[in-house]
Chains A and B, each alone.
Chain A
């Protein structure tokens, strides 16, 4: 069965302490891998789309990378405002419903 697993479940960082989140997937065909940020009580906010192994995307202190079986979200010198739950999702090929299969998320807390 296709599956998306995120680790760790929770990550507590000191401000400025860089770290990485992992998203591993066991799918038969990947159309795209998406990263979202979700703040408490709000909807997921789109961050990145990655389509092929070796691809990288950056936005401020966040950098997402993709290999054939996993993706990493690197947070460089995080600030307290980077505290959120980060979700990854995969979209498969072929896909008639275009659904995103989500992982359970990694909750990041950055302390000042």
Chain B
């Protein structure tokens, strides 16, 4: 059974860089897209971007200038960096596995989430 375990710093100051990692256990990175999704407290979900095992990335244009998603196939992990954070970046951040049926992608497995708070 595939599981996602994520970790990273939960408290940042404005202008710092958010850094999170998600490890994939019990399965391969190959054949899927691996996403980061965030949710501000009490609000809805926002897709940040994704990556495949080859390192091909897609980003949300709203965050593209500040986001880097990378993959480490030797460790079966993928990571998120978001630079120059502000209070508006305070959110629960989730990693998620993108599965495909025909040409339709959906998130069938999610990490438990990491609450990241940006405060001076």
Q: Do A and B come from one complex?
A: no
